[in-house]
A and B are shown apart, each in its own frame.
Chain A
Amino acid sequence: MGSQKFLWNVAKKYFTFGLITLTISDRYASIVPVRGLSMSPTFNPSNSASLGSLSDDYVLVEKFCLEKYKFSHGDVIVFCSPSNYREKHIKRIIALPGDWIGSSYTHDVQKVPEGHCWVEGDNSASSLDSRSFGPIPLGLVRGRVTHIVWPPQRVGAVERRVPKDGLSFY
């Protein structure tokens, strides 16, 4: 009977802890691993010389931006993939609603529709982004990456950077 009470107390504590963690990770901030090389060298810079380069970068994702959906050019965001809602991708916002985006390869220019944004990975060579699936609705965004928290030698803020190549005039 004593052990039953003990188990019940432990279960209650775990449940409360789980609830609080879930709420904080949904509303405020969470830590996610970055997989893949589409954002090199910002995340996961592939460097075969250094040991431990096989482990993923972990980044801090903040959710405060989801209240007003106000983003800036060069923000790194986490969003649900438009072709598979269970997958999440991390890319950088290149163009916001109303901007004109054009690529240096094809000479056509398109306007980013209202409520959508154009995302691209920093590593253009191996990145599945808006150049393949077009602009994505801002409603798919799940957070904004602000800091790298692992590995310790690369801890620091993630900077807003707009790439120079690829035409994009506002």
Chain B
Amino acid sequence: MRGLGSLGLWKNLAKEALDQTAIVAKFLCLLHVTNTYLCTATLVCYSFFFLLFIHLSLLYTHISIYMIWKEFKWISWMQVYGPSMLPTLNLTGDLLLVERISARLGKVRTGDVVLVRSPENPRKIVTKRILGMEGEKVTFLVDPKNSDRCQTLVVPKGHIWIQGDNIYASNDSRNFGTVPYGLIQGKVFCRVWPPSGFGYLE
């Protein structure tokens, strides 16, 4: 009899655990959809407060821990750092808001700062500015440190020309050529951290 009683107890526990897991799974799906299709916050260097927030709210089932690890890895691959976008973005530690809707609808324009998956390494995402959309003519300094030589080309259909704001220290379309539009991950529209630089990016 005692065995049967504890069986009922286990059943209740299992049911409760399943309910909690369902709520967590739904929340993570909502997080994924918001991140992929609407808007996400990208860390331009370190991400410890994101990790803290996620861990504090979801630290109680095995499934959620596994998915947190996956989410964190995914977010961490969006860290971008380096001097290629000075003076617009700082060297380290900028937190940006990236929206995904414009890229999907094709509303990205010349002059936007975008997140692009690097054509040299698909696991790396870089932040650059679009200087030319398809059909536009782009003039650029081939090697600004050594010479004043300029080159002009027309961007082919379905491609874009990206360049970092700091042309002296930027690995961009001047090195790897035009990139297909399908590599754009999102458009940067706002800087959240540091608070001194808060506001829309020009």
Q: Which residues from chain A sit less than 8 Å from chain B, CB to CB?
A: 16, 19-20, 22-23, 26-27, 67-69, 79-86, 113-116, 136-141
Assembly CA distance A85 to B33 (angstroms): 20
Whose C-beta in chain B lies nearest to the C-beta of A26?
B36
Assembly CA distance A93 to B119 (angstroms): 17
B153 proximal to A (CB < 8 A): no
Contact B180 A140 (CB under 8 A): yes
Pick from B156, B158, B176 the residue with the most CB of A within 10 Å.
B158
Contact A85 B118 (CB under 8 A): no
Tell me which residues across on chain B come within 8 A of A141, comparing CB atoms: 122
Contact B117 A139 (CB under 8 A): yes
**Smallest distance from the beta carbon of A69 to chain B beta carbons, Å?**
4
A contact patch SS = mixed
Q: Mind listing 22 A-B residue pairs with CB under 8 Å?
A: A16-B26, A19-B33, A20-B29, A22-B32, A26-B32, A69-B122, A81-B158, A82-B182, A83-B159, A84-B158, A113-B176, A115-B122, A116-B119, A137-B117, A137-B119, A137-B180, A138-B122, A139-B117, A139-B118, A139-B122, A139-B182, A140-B183
Q: How large is the interface on B (under 10, 10 to 19, 20 to 34, 35 or more residues)?
A: 20 to 34
Q: Which of A16, A27, A139 contacts B119 (CB 8 A)?
A: A139
Tell me which residues across on chain B come within 8 A of A136, comparing CB atoms: 180
Contact B123 A137 (CB under 8 A): no
Q: Which of B25, B32, B121 contacts A114 (CB 8 A)?
A: B121
Contact A68/B182 with A19-B30, A20-B26 known, Cβ cut-off 8 Å: no
Whose C-beta in chain B lies nearest to the C-beta of A80?
B182
Q: Which of B28, B36, B73, B183 contacts A137 (CB 8 A)?
A: B183
